[in-house]
């Protein structure tokens, strides 16, 4: 891999992150309503409400400039004292110091609020994607290698059905089938651990958390599995038609060796990008799944922040998720460049 290729990818990722940070600032200031009305009592005085707005920085100018309409047309002018005190510069300064501000409702640093919820989501998403990658690629390889057979037909129809099903709806079906009193009642209905339970040992707590993980992980894994299986099957079918496979067969190589040494390594290339792209889709899907299973992760935190118009928390979640996707795609570009020298030219 050349340094030019790596620096080019790093530069694009950096510009994307800067654009995301600015978009993050603009989007949440476009939301209607006063955030203080969500966490302050209705009978609070106007003076007290304005005091809270001053403490939160909501009364500062949004931008360090002001659009003034004159006889000569619209002109941009600096507001008094706005070049040093405005919401945009405060936001940028906080980002530089890795400070995402304070939550409106929790009245704590956003970093602390998000830190409590990020690891449950990492655990949920990480296990689901790992299962989906292993199972999806294995099934896709076998289906593509035995194209047209019964296994391929069943896998193709199941994968297409799962690919079209919304994750939150799939989660509700699994919840009713395996957790509700009307169903099999094999697993808990929600939460990360049993509420109010006292565990006799770390192993007991681990087993309890594992039982709560089964249904949400299965829901996310099934949604991802479909994409991996379909793409891998298509890649294997395409690779089998290449000249190097015909040459390998002409040399008398065994079918298992052709699959292992020639077809699979080349068919895996498209899945490298898919794995990175899947991270973005699964993080979005995890919001609905966490809400269904009351999983205490970033998904439920996002819903709570939207309902409470907690802009700093929403900004922090949006920034973390989008930067994670950008970094995942950067890693995919680097790995793809290592596997396929053609993309580096």
Check whether 281 has a pLDDT greater than 80.
no
Check whether 41 has a pLDDT greater than 80.
no
Mean pLDDT of 91-100: 80
Cα–Cα distance list, 54 to 49, 60, 140, 209 (Å): 9, 8, 57, 43
Mean model confidence pLDDT for the chain: 80
Note whether 111 and 310 are within 8 A (CB). Answer: no
- pLDDT value, residue 50: 79
Check whether 1 has a pLDDT greater than 60.
no
Looking at per-residue pLDDT, the higher value among 107 and 336 belongs to 107
Where are the domains positioned within the chain?
36-103, 110-344
Check whether 198 has a pLDDT greater than 80.
no
Report pLDDT digits (tens) over 226-263: 888 888 898 888 888 888 888 888 888 888 888 888 88
Looking at per-residue pLDDT, the higher value among 292 and 2 belongs to 292
| 63 band by pLDDT with thresholds 50, 70 and 90 | low
- pLDDT value, residue 218: 92
| 58 band by pLDDT with thresholds 50, 70 and 90 | confident
Mean pLDDT of 295-310: 85
Check whether 185 has a pLDDT greater than 60.
yes
Check whether 268 has a pLDDT greater than 70.
yes
Mean pLDDT of 72-77: 54
Mean pLDDT of 109-134: 88
39 vs 41: CA distance, rounded Å: 7
Share of the chain above pLDDT 90, in %: 2
Mean pLDDT of 192-215: 84
Least confident range from 45-49, 141-145, 154-158, 248-252: namely: 45-49
Least confident range from 22-26, 106-110, 191-195, 280-284: namely: 280-284
- pLDDT value, residue 179: 84
Check whether 67 has a pLDDT greater than 70.
no
Share of the chain above pLDDT 70, in %: 85
Report pLDDT digits (tens) over 315-339: 888 888 888 888 888 887 777 777 6
Cα–Cα distance list, 3 to 44, 111, 340, 342 (Å): 60, 34, 16, 15
Topology classification of domain 110-344: MetI-like fold (1.10.3720)
Least confident range from 134-143, 161-170, 227-236, 264-273: namely: 264-273
Cα–Cα distance list, 95 to 88, 99, 104, 118 (Å): 11, 6, 18, 19
């Amino acid at each position: 891999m050349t340094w030019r290729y790596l620096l080019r990818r790093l530069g694009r990722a950096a510009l994307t992150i800067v654009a995301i940070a600015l978009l993050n600032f603009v989007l949440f200031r476009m939301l209607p309503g006063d955030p203080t009305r969500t966490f302050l009592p209705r009978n609070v005085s106007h003076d007290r409400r304005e005091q809270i707005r001053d403490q939160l920085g909501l009364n500062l100018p949004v931008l360090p400039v002001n659009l003034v309409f004159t006889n000569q047309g619209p002109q941009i002018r600096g507001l008094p004292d706005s070049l040093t005190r405005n919401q945009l510069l405060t936001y940028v300064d906080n980002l530089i110091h890795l400070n995402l501000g304070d939550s409106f409702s929790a009245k704590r640093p956003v970093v602390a609020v998000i830190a409590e919820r990020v690891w449950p989501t990492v655990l949920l998403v990480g296990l689901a994607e790992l299962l989906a990658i292993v199972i999806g690629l294995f099934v896709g390889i076998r289906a593509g290698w035995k194209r047209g057979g019964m296994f391929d037909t069943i896998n193709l129809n199941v994968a297409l059905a799962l690919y079209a099903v919304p994750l939150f709806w799939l989660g509700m079906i699994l919840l009713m089938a395996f957790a509700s009193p009307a169903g099999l009642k094999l697993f808990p209905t929600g939460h990360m651990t049993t509420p109010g339970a006292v565990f006799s040992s770390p192993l007991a707590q681990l087993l309890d958390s594992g039982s709560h993980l089964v249904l949400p992980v299965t829901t996310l894994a099934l949604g991802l599995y479909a994409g991996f299986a379909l793409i891998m099957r298509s890649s294997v079918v395409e690779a089998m038609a290449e000249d190097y496979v015909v040459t390998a067969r002409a040399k008398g190589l065994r079918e298992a060796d052709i699959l292992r040494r020639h077809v699979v390594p080349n068919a895996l290339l498209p899945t490298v990008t898919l794995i990175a792209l899947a991270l973005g889709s699964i993080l979005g899907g995890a919001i609905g799944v966490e809400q269904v299973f009351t999983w205490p992760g970033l998904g439920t935190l996002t819903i709570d922040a939207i309902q409470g118009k907690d802009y700093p928390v929403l900004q922090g979640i949006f920034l973390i998720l989008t930067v994670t996707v950008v970094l995942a795609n950067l890693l995919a570009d680097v790995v793809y460049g290592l596997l396929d020298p053609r993309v580096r030219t």
